Structures are given as structure tokens and as C-alpha cells.
Amino acid sequence: MKHIQPLLLPLLLLPLLFVSCIDEETYEDTATGNFEALWRIIDEHYCYFDYKKEVYGLDWQEVHDRYKPHVKNSLTTTQQFELLSGMLGELRDGHVNLSSGFDYGRYWRWHEDYPTNFSDSLLRRYLGTDYHIASSLRYKVLDDNIGYVYCSSFASGFGDGNLTDMLSLLLTCDGLIVDIRGNGGGQLDYAERLAQRFTNTSVHVGYLRHKNGRGHSDFSPMQKQTIDPYNGLRWQKRTVVLTNREVFSAANEFVKYMKCFPGVTVVGDSTGGGSGLPMSSELPGGWSVRYSACPMYDRDGRDTEFGIAPDHFVSLTDDDFARGRDTLIEFARQLLKQ
């Protein structure tokens, strides 16, 4: 085999480096430069333009032309941040954020305009003081022999040993409630790890695609997502998953997985969505922007960016709250007793 001498490598790489440099647009650290850089980053890498144009008529070029006249290099840093955050808000995406040293631009209307259908005080009543804790999991056996697990987040890690210990304690229960209300997501690995305990076979749960070009429609072919059963203790009885609008991102995916399994029923409100895997880039001024870059779909190829509907829509009522009852938990208990 013929080897290239090390001293020749820099010369051979020079044309590639030159092409790379002239191919990338550069922007100054000014209000105008940061505006144009941000718009371009989203234009080339965001993954939901076609879907959101269909749903509510999003036109990213129109957004640029509408915000551009307000961009002046005389703007203060705070005014620049507010302007750029407002432009990103046009995407209606909870995974799109602008981060600076003094603020965090976000779009939270995906849950702010809806009832929470959840109460910390009611949760404490049901858990009591003798519940078990494993990372973000809190669990116990309710007085009617129904198992109850509250999973507040997929950001905190729990291992296979934690899940085995939990299911061992709940093994003799007549059914199981998995409550993920308020779970804003975290790591997909933890959502998958928990879901693996509810299936005995490999199950096709959805699809994903990768952005592979700068065009709004440049994506790889659909790739199947599959959940394989855990090689150990798994739950074999009926399960109810409780959801609300604050279920987002990895928790949204967890609901997508669980709806594919037999014996699982989802109760509550539609989830908040957030089905795009996020990536980050940096603006000339050093601010960081996060955006959805890899879309995921359910097993029928439908987008779940704006949420997943439950099997039963149930809301927390004022009357039940006044009586110290959680409407969703009580509905789930009745389902599991049938």
C-alpha cells in the first residue's frame, strides 16, 4: 500500500480548508449580525418547517421580513435578546431556546394555556410518608392493592436494579398506575429503560429521521424505532399511565411507547409534545440557541410534536380537589378494578 508522507498532508488539505471557509457565511457581533445568524441557523437546521406550515401556516421567510425592520445596531443587549426570542417564538416549539448569561428565551405556551390537572398537595396525600424512593421514582402500594409510581423526570438516572426492586415490591398488586404528570423529559435512555419493563416482545413504536441537508425538506428516510423487552423482571398486569400538558420531550416519547403495548391505557390530558431531538449552535455574540433537529413520529408515521391524545380525557375537578381526591388517580383505580 502506498502511504502519503506526513509533510504532504497539509498541502493536500489546503483546497478542502479553502472550500470550507468560503462555503460558510460569517456574521459580525452586532444586532444585525446576530439576527441574520440566528435566522440562518434555524432556516438550515430546524426540522419542522413543512409540518408547521401545514398546521398553522408558518412561513420562515415571512418571519424574517417582518422582524428585520425592528433590528437596529443601536438596540441594547436586553432589547436584542427580546427581539430574537420573539422571532424564535414563532416556531411554537418548547425545544427552541435562546440562552444568555442573564436570561433564557423560551416558548412555554404549549402548557401554560392549559390546566395542569395535577396537585402536589394531593400527591402528598396519596403517597403519605411511607413511600419508597429510587432517583426520580416514588412508589407505594395503595390501600386497594393498586400499585402507584410517580415519575417526575427522566433527567435523573435510575438503573435496572432500581426498576427490579420497585417491581418486586409491587409484584402482588392487582394493577399499576404510572403517573408522569409534570414530567418535562430528560434522557430518552431512561424513558426506554422504563418502557422495556412493560413488553414481552420487541415492539415497533415509531420512526425517526435525520436532517441531511440545508433545505427545509432535506431528511433521511424513515428509520424504525423499536422497544425490546428487558431480560429480567417485567410487569405482566394492566397499567394506566397518567398524563397532562406538562408531559414533554422524552416523557412524550414514553407515552408514545406505552400506547403500543397491550394492557396499557393512557388517562388524563394530551401531552405537551416536543418530539424533536434538540441540537445547539452559537451566535456571534456568544449566546446559545437550541432547536429541534431530528423529528420523531408514532408507529403510524404521525407527528407527535404537538402532543399525544390519551385514551380517556379526564380532568381534575374542583369538587374532587376540595374533597382531597385526585380525579385522575381515582379514575385509573376504577379502570384497574374492572
Asked whether residue 250 is domain-assigned, the answer is yes
HSE-CB at 151 with a 13 A cutoff on CA atoms is 32
State the Cα torsion 259-264-269-274 to the nearest 10°: -30
Neighbours of 278 (CB within 10 A): 18
77, 179, 163, 160: which is closest to 122 by C-alpha? 179
Q: Is the pLDDT of residue 3 over 50?
A: no
More confident call, 330 vs 16: 330
The rounded distance, in Å, linking the Cα atoms of 316 and 282 is 42
Asked whether residue 237 is domain-assigned, the answer is yes
Going 211 to 217 to 223 to 226, the CA torsion angle's sign is: positive
Give tens-digit pLDDT for 296-324. Answer: 999 999 999 999 999 999 999 999 999 99
Asked whether residue 227 is domain-assigned, the answer is yes
Asked whether residue 75 is domain-assigned, the answer is no
Burial of 85 per CB tally in 10 Å (0-12, 13-18, 19+): buried
For every residue of 185-207, DSSP letters joined together read: -B-HHHHHHHHGGG-SS-EEEEE
The rounded distance, in Å, linking the Cα atoms of 269 and 116 is 9
What the block records as the C-alpha cell of 214 is 440545508
Give tens-digit pLDDT for 132-186. Answer: 999 999 999 999 999 999 999 999 889 999 999 999 999 999 999 999 999 999 9
So what's the pLDDT on residue 1? 37
202 within 8 A of 228, measured Cβ to Cβ: yes
311, 222, 227: which is closest to 271 by C-alpha? 311
Asked whether residue 177 is domain-assigned, the answer is yes
Asked whether residue 93 is domain-assigned, the answer is no
Give tens-digit pLDDT for 52-93. Answer: 999 999 999 999 999 999 999 999 999 999 999 999 999 999
The rounded distance, in Å, linking the Cα atoms of 143 and 145 is 5
Give tens-digit pLDDT for 104-125. Answer: 999 999 999 899 999 999 999 9
205 within 8 A of 267, measured Cβ to Cβ: no
Asked whether residue 329 is domain-assigned, the answer is yes
273 within 8 A of 305, measured Cβ to Cβ: yes
Burial of 270 per CB tally in 10 Å (0-12, 13-18, 19+): buried
- 184: containing domain: 120-275+295-337
Burial of 133 per CB tally in 10 Å (0-12, 13-18, 19+): exposed
So what's the pLDDT on residue 6? 32
The conformational region for residue 280 under phi > 0 = left, psi -120 to 50 = alpha, else beta, is beta
48 within 8 A of 305, measured Cβ to Cβ: yes
**Residue 125 is part of a domain; what is its CATH number?**
3.90.226.10
Beta bridge partners of 288: 99, 282
What the block records as the C-alpha cell of 260 is 403500543
Pairing of the two strands 175-179 and 132-134: unpaired
More confident call, 234 vs 14: 234
**High-pLDDT (> 70) share of the chain, %:** 93
So what's the pLDDT on residue 157? 84
Average pLDDT over residues 41-58: 98
CA–CA distances in Å: residue 288 to residues 93, 279, 280, 281? 16, 10, 7, 6
So what's the pLDDT on residue 24? 52
The rounded distance, in Å, linking the Cα atoms of 269 and 335 is 16
Neighbours of 208 (CB within 10 A): 18
Give tens-digit pLDDT for 189-211. Answer: 999 999 999 999 999 999 999 99
The rounded distance, in Å, linking the Cα atoms of 64 and 78 is 20
Instruction: State the average pLDDT for the chain.
Output: 92
- List all residues 6 or more positions away from 129 whose beta carbon is below 8 Å from its beta carbon: none
Could you say which DSSP state residue 118 is in?
-
Asked whether residue 87 is domain-assigned, the answer is no
Domain count across the chain:
1
More confident call, 24 vs 266: 266
CA 91 to chain centre: 15
